[in-house]
Amino acid sequence: MAEPTALTRLTIAGKRRLTPDIWEFTLEPADGGALPSFEPGAHIGVETPSGAMRQYSLVNDGRAPERYVIALKREPDSRGGSRSMVEEAAVGGTLRADAPANSFPLAEAPGYLLIAGGIGIAPIRAMADRLDAEGRPFRLIYCTRSAAESAYLDEMRARFGARLTVHHDGGDPDAFYDFWDAFAEPADIRVYCCGPKALMEEIRAVSGHWPEGRARFEDFRPVEAVRPDDRPFDVVLHRSGRTVAVPADLPILEALRGAGIAVPSSCESGVCGTCKTRLIAGEADHRDKVLMPEERADFIMLCVSRAQGGVLTLDL
């Protein structure tokens, strides 16, 4: 099992509502110390008031940061992370966060096409700000339901002018933006896309004839840890001999947390590997994006995976 990541305590210095569902948080070091620098596309893991770890893209300039600025969407089916941030995290309070990481970095290129949908504007806006500051050519396409649901819209229109294309579909699937003109002929540029699943699938489809690696995608959608047909099961903790019941509507990690058992975790979305635990007995229903096929008989990711049936025995 991976070692827990060291977390820094940050003070909530600002909180503002950008749209009905998107909120921006400004976080400053509680001890007044220096913050690690970061590049556009970076994110931090934040321990939300609910106790869950969630990954949020950094919006501000990271070259010599005195603060971290993140934007998040309160999801209607939130498992507690985004909901607790909006409802419980208040200015003057503190949160713990890990150091910036970047799996979506800007690469050198003659030009850039940036594509964002909804809350996906967070890392994309950071990229556009950096490219604009350095005088590098780019175009930004921002797709949302409406102007009222478009975070940072007025600020970006004022700064980027004609380089920004905005499309509102009103929630009508038939009013989807037509990206074909931008992708018909492969160009010597880099494409960066962040947004809903449908948007990223569309960009993957229309860029399929482009050279491999020319388009990059950022996706923080959590793995579906809980499904409507899931059933409760038990986990036996081999080292202590304890048995913990896992309800149908909770992942193993949250059931353990509720039983007072601390387990290292970070993304809690099945993508980072921090909660990887040895599986001693039982058959797991693997739902993560981390384990190699040869590892699945001996390990399990506690944040998203479950039992196929019966009891799981864990090396805890």
Query: What pLDDT score does 101 carry?
Result: 87
Taking every pair of Cα atoms in the chain, the longest distance, rounded to a whole number of angstroms, is 64
Mean pLDDT of 163-182: 94
Decide: 167 and 142 in contact? Cβ < 8 Å: yes
Band the pLDDT of 289: cuts 50, 70, 90.
confident
Using CA atoms, how far apart are residues 82 and 72, in angstroms rounded to an integer? 7
Q: Which residues contact 262 (CB under 8 A, 6 or more apart)?
A: none
Per DSSP bridges, beta strands 94-97 and 8-17 are antiparallel
Query: What pLDDT score does 149 carry?
Result: 96
Could you tell me what percent of the chain has a pLDDT over 70? 95
Query: What pLDDT score does 223 carry?
Result: 65
| Domains of the chain and any CATH numbers | 8-97 (2.40.30.10), 112-218 (3.40.50.80), 233-314 (3.10.20.30)
* Look-up of token digits 């001890």: 31
Query: Secondary structure of 175-219 in the HEC alphabet?
Result: HCCCCHHHHCCCCCCEEEEECCHHHHHHHHHHCCCCCCCCEEEEC
Mean pLDDT of 94-115: 94
- Mean pLDDT score across all residues of the chain: 92
Band the pLDDT of 52: cuts 50, 70, 90.
confident
Mean pLDDT of 37-45: 94
Using CA atoms, how far apart are residues 155 and 160, in angstroms rounded to an integer? 9
Is the four-CA dihedral 294, 300, 303, 305 of positive or negative sign?
positive
* Amino acid at the residue 315: D
Mean pLDDT of 28-39: 94
Q: Which helix (H) or strand (E) holds 155?
A: helix 153-160
**This prediction's pTM:** 0.77
DSSP string, 233-273: EEEEETTT--EEEE-TTS-HHHHHHHTT-----S-SSSSS-
Query: What pLDDT score does 173 carry?
Result: 84
Decide: 268 and 6 in contact? Cβ < 8 Å: no
Rounding to the nearest 10 degrees, give the CA dihedral for residues 140, 144, 150, 153.
Answer: 30
**pLDDT tens digits for range 241-274:** 999 999 999 999 999 989 999 888 777 778 777 8
Using CA atoms, how far apart are residues 101 and 98, in angstroms rounded to an integer? 9
In degrees and rounded to multiples of 5, residue 267 shows phi and psi of -70, -35
